[in-house]
Amino acid sequence: MMAPLSVQLYSLREASESDFDGVLARLAEIGYAGVEPFALFGMSPAAFRRRVEELGMRVSSSHYPWANRTEVSRVCDVVGELGLTRAAGGFAPDDFRDLDAVRRTADTVNGLVEALGRAGIGLFLHNHWWEFTELDGVPAYHLFQELCPGVQFEIDTYWAANFGACDPAAEVARVRDRTPLLHIKDGPLEKGRAHVAVGDGRMDIPATVGAADPDVLEWLIVELDACETDMMTAVERSHAYLTGAGLARGRN
């Protein structure tokens, strides 16, 4: 069965600053099944969840608050109010710059997994491209994944391609049993260039989605950091491509 389709609201951060409710309503009209917030633009977690559900969508997951930057009890409270059972985390380039940094990052993550787990909350990590820089001939993320058996992943498939240096489908397959969420974006696979609507770039989206375990994968989540075209149009085109190609299902 196809996973439902969500969208990371960071994609629409500029429009959300002036009309957050309008953005949510438009996403529901397009047919997205869910949304993944990075900020709530003044709404409480409970009010945000209520509005999303009134529009016929769900909160798929959340990048608010970031678990490795927020006190654990606060993370657990917000995640619970959003109706979720996982918190998000992510790290900077320096956290993967060498083997010692990878080990320190793994220690931090394992501590978070344990602390959150006591409250019944899991931890998933979102990557960028720098996790796939090689250390002694091996991508840093591979070393890290082996050191953190209890963490789950939201593989950002575009960044996992590392501008063509890595195979994103292979990166998804590597941790398919620990990957309930996939970030789907597309683009030219060239550093510094903007993303494009999913389906319009160089990513092999079917192969990448197909590498996930359908029994583990819960959501596909569109995220476009920046586009040279209108962002809402790109988000709508991404929905049309993914649902039209039978790779994800919308709310209708």
The per-residue pLDDT for range 170-181, each reduced to its tens digit, is 999 999 999 999
Give the pLDDT mean for 134-143.
96
Is residue 128 within 8 Å of residue 159, measured between CB atoms?
yes
pLDDT for position 109: 98
Number of Cβ atoms within 10 Å of the Cβ of 38: 17
Q: Residue 244: pLDDT above 90?
A: yes
Q: Residue 117: pLDDT above 90?
A: yes
Q: Residue 7: pLDDT above 90?
A: yes
Is residue 174 within 8 Å of residue 142, measured between CB atoms?
yes
Give the pLDDT mean for 119-129.
98
pLDDT for position 1: 76
Average of per-residue pLDDT values in the chain: 97
What confidence category does residue 3 fall into, taking pLDDT thresholds of 50, 70 and 90? very high
Q: Residue 112: exposed, middle, or buried by beta-carbon count in 10 A (0-12, 13-18, 19+)?
A: buried
The per-residue pLDDT for range 62-71, each reduced to its tens digit, is 999 999 999 9
DSSP code per residue over 157-216: HHHHTGGGTS-HHHHHHHTGGG--EEEE-B--S-TTPPBB-TTSSS--HHHHHHTS-TTT
Q: Residue 135: pLDDT above 80?
A: yes
The per-residue pLDDT for range 198-239, each reduced to its tens digit, is 999 999 999 999 999 999 999 999 999 999 999 999 999 999
Distance CA 28, CA 45 (A): 19
pLDDT for position 118: 97
pLDDT for position 108: 98
Give the pLDDT mean for 47-60.
98
* DSSP letter assigned to residue 41: T
Chain-centre distance of CA 201, in angstroms? 19
pLDDT for position 106: 98
Contact residues for 48 (Cβ-Cβ < 8 A; gap 6+): 37, 40, 59, 82
Give the pLDDT mean for 111-120.
98
List the domains of the chain with CATH numbers.
Answer: 5-244 (3.20.20.150)
Q: Residue 252: pLDDT above 90?
A: no
Give the pLDDT mean for 69-88.
97
Instruction: Give the torsion sign (CA, 229, 235, 241, 244).
Output: negative
pLDDT for position 107: 98
Is residue 132 within 8 Å of residue 170, measured between CB atoms?
no
Distance CA 195, CA 223 (A): 9
